[in-house]
Structure 1
Amino acid sequence: MRKLMQLAFIFGAIIAFAQTKEVIKFRGNILNYTENPYAFFKVIDQREDKQIGTLPFGEQKEMKEVVFPSTPDADFSAWYLKSNQPGKLTDFFLVLKKLKLSTGESDGKKTEGKMDFSAQTFAKTGDKYQFLYKKDTVFTFYDKEVSELMVKNIPAVFSAFIKKAYSLNPAGNKVGLNGLEDYSTLVKNNYAALKGKPLKDGIYLDYISFFNQTPEPGDYVLESNSKGDITKAVKEENGKKTKISAYKMFAYVEKGKVRKSTFSGFMDLDQDENGFYVLGNRGHIFPVQSNSAYGMFGLIGGVAGAIEQRARQKKMKSGDVQKIYIDPLTGEYDFSEE
């Protein structure tokens, strides 16, 4: 009888423990459509905090810990092999820096959720690694069941991130395993814009030309509208005018001062020991949607109505101002939270 009671207690404890876990389900695929087949998919888990988050689920708001089915390396490797025929020479490496979920404010109908995401990808040939792509950002979600929505979208975030990396060719220095610990720091001194010299005046169409300090050739003159907003840059050579619209510019430098094109128009791009940054917040940088990851990665969830979008955009712009750095490896915003 005592043994039966012990077994019942153990069984009940196992069930109770299992019920406190919300396991990520890797649905969908990470199919590689490119001509760069990878032999294996490997994950190096460099997260300082291995806990993804403990969130409220269901009508009863039961607190559950979000977990991988087994380990990131085993889970992603199995996911990759479901939809890909392995190649022969090169391995695909994902360096996981951060994956953190949390919930925040609620208006009684919808609750805010945040996914803090940071990862890098590399192609490995032999014992050397070469950079592909990286992303450091915080996705925001708004939903009645925001915990369920975020967990459901974890595979979608990784799928879009990985497929973006597939489409890129390896670039930059080849490094050993130890060089992956902080690859961004390792390579940032390779860029002319980060070497402390005065910036070259001119028009820059992309982040590569800006960080390499190779502006468009010719003497361009900036033109503004009646509100003082830059609308285009114009140069005239041999009686012929060449125009570059403002929306085609990554940035321009005038008298050593750089201004970056953003959703809110051109904003000052300042520099400190960590690189170039815009002083602002999400409202200045991104157009708001029902879920901030929706437009970037096409995640699960509908787009908010126009009235709600305008209200949330205004709220976002009124938030705390911070330094939002420009990643010299990708030209994208590093928008992570400590």
Structure 2
Amino acid sequence: MKKILQFTFIFVSILSFSQAQEIIKERGNLSNPKGNIYKSLEVIDQREDKKIGEMPFGDTKEMKEIVFPTTINNFLSQWYTDSNHKGGKHEMVLILKRLKTTLGETVGKETEADIDFSAQTFLKEGDNYKFLYKKDTVYSFKNKNISDVVVKNIPVIIAMFMKKTYTMKPTENAVTMNDLADYELYVRNNSQAYKNEQLKDGVYLSNTAFLNQTPEIGNYVLEKNEKGNVLRAIKEENGKKDKISANEMFAYVENGKAYKKTYSGFLELNKNEKGFYIVSNRGYILPVRNSAVFVSVGGGAGGGMYGGVAIGLVGIFERGLRQNKERKGEMFEIYIDPLTGEYDFSNE
């Protein structure tokens, strides 16, 4: 009788524990539409806090912990394999830095929530790794069923990240496994732009070219308007003109001083112990969006951002209004991500 009671207690404990969890499920697929070159996906979990978060679910608003059905490596590796049946030649490694949910305020019937996501991907060749892509951002949502929206959008965010990764070319420089522990620090310590005091004059078409200090070959002359704004760069060789428009440039360096291309024109690019930065604000350097744009992450009902239409129209429209106000607002240091060349707004 005692053994029966013990078994019953254990069974009830396991059942209660399982009921206190909300399982993340696959949504859509991770297939590469341009042809698969990666035979496998491996996930290295570098999260300091492995707990994703807890949210209220159902009519009773029971607090449940959001979890993967197995380890995140097993979950994503299997999902990737199921989505890409034809094996490629290379291996892909995904470094997960952060995956955290946060519940926000409730206004009326709608509740706000965030998903903080940070990850990097690398192409693996033997014992060497080549950087592919990085995403480090916070996705914000608002919905009356916010917990369902959050848990269903976690795999969507991962799928969107993978879809973007497929479009990226690996860097030429390969690193070892030890360098993956803090790849950003490795880039800072080994990039010419960070190491050298003097920058090379010229036109740079990408963040990688700027980091390696490899401007476009040839004697390009900057053509400016009456206000001093750069319109294009022109090179004349053998009677032929080669033009690079301002929109094609990542940055240019003139007399040792760098200028970064933004939506509103070129801004001075400064450097300190933290890295390269411009002094501006979000509303000035980014275009204002007043309409929603959604990316499909898989066919059928699994594609797209769950709850995205309602969330997107509200969120993006409000961001557009906020950007209009910010154009006249406070200026602050906005750092350039050394891995992607994108703006880092983490200090806002």
Pairing partner for 2:313 from 281, 301, 304:
304
Quote the Cα distance in structure 1 between the aligned partners of 2:280 and 2:295.
20
Amino acid at match of 1:98: R
Alignment of 1:231-250 (within 5 A): 232-233=231-232, 235=234, 245-250=245-250
Partner of 1:327: 337
CA offsets per residue over residues 174-210 of structure 1, 9 Å max, x none?
Answer: 3332222112222334432212322344443332332
Partner of 1:164: 164
Deviation at 1:47, TM superposition (A): 0.9
Partner of 1:26: 26
The answer as to whether partners of 2:36 and 2:84 remain within 8 angstroms in 1 is: no
Deviation at 1:11, TM superposition (A): 4.4
The answer as to whether partners of 2:222 and 2:231 remain within 8 angstroms in 1 is: no
1:49 partner SS: coil
The answer as to whether partners of 2:43 and 2:72 remain within 8 angstroms in 1 is: yes
Partner of 1:210: 210
Quote the Cα distance in structure 2 between the aligned partners of 1:290 and 1:144.
23
Quote the Cα distance in structure 2 between the aligned partners of 1:16 and 1:173.
50
Gaps of 5+ in 2: 298-303
Q: State the number of aligned residues.
A: 335
> Identity over aligned residues, as a percent?
49
Q: Does 1:196 align with 2:205?
A: no
Partner of 2:102: 102
CA offsets per residue over residues 18-76 of structure 1, 9 Å max, x none?
Answer: 23212111121111234453332211111111011122334554322111111011101
The answer as to whether partners of 1:138 and 1:335 remain within 8 angstroms in 2 is: no
CA offsets per residue over residues 188-244 of structure 1, 9 Å max, x none?
Answer: 3443221232234444333233223344542213326xxx69462365869998765
Quote the Cα distance in structure 2 between the aligned partners of 1:267 and 1:23.
46
Quote the Cα distance in structure 2 between the aligned partners of 1:20 and 1:126.
42
Quote the Cα distance in structure 1 between the aligned partners of 2:148 and 2:328.
28
The answer as to whether partners of 2:129 and 2:174 remain within 8 angstroms in 1 is: yes
Deviation at 1:100, TM superposition (A): 1.1
Greater displacement, 303-312 / 28-37: 303-312
Q: Does 1:183 align with 2:183?
A: yes
The answer as to whether partners of 1:138 and 1:337 remain within 8 angstroms in 2 is: no
Quote the Cα distance in structure 2 between the aligned partners of 1:118 and 1:175.
20
Quote the Cα distance in structure 1 between the aligned partners of 2:287 and 2:201.
29
Please report the TM-score for the alignment, with normalisation by the length of structure 1: 0.80
2:119 partner SS: strand
Quote the Cα distance in structure 1 between the aligned partners of 2:51 and 2:338.
29
Quote the Cα distance in structure 1 between the aligned partners of 2:106 and 2:60.
16
Amino acid at match of 2:16: A
Gaps of 5+ in 1: none
Deviation at 1:265, TM superposition (A): 4.5
Pairing partner for 1:219 from 209, 221, 228:
221
- CA separation of 1:281 and 1:71: change in aligned 2, threshold 3 A: farther
Amino acid at match of 1:27: R
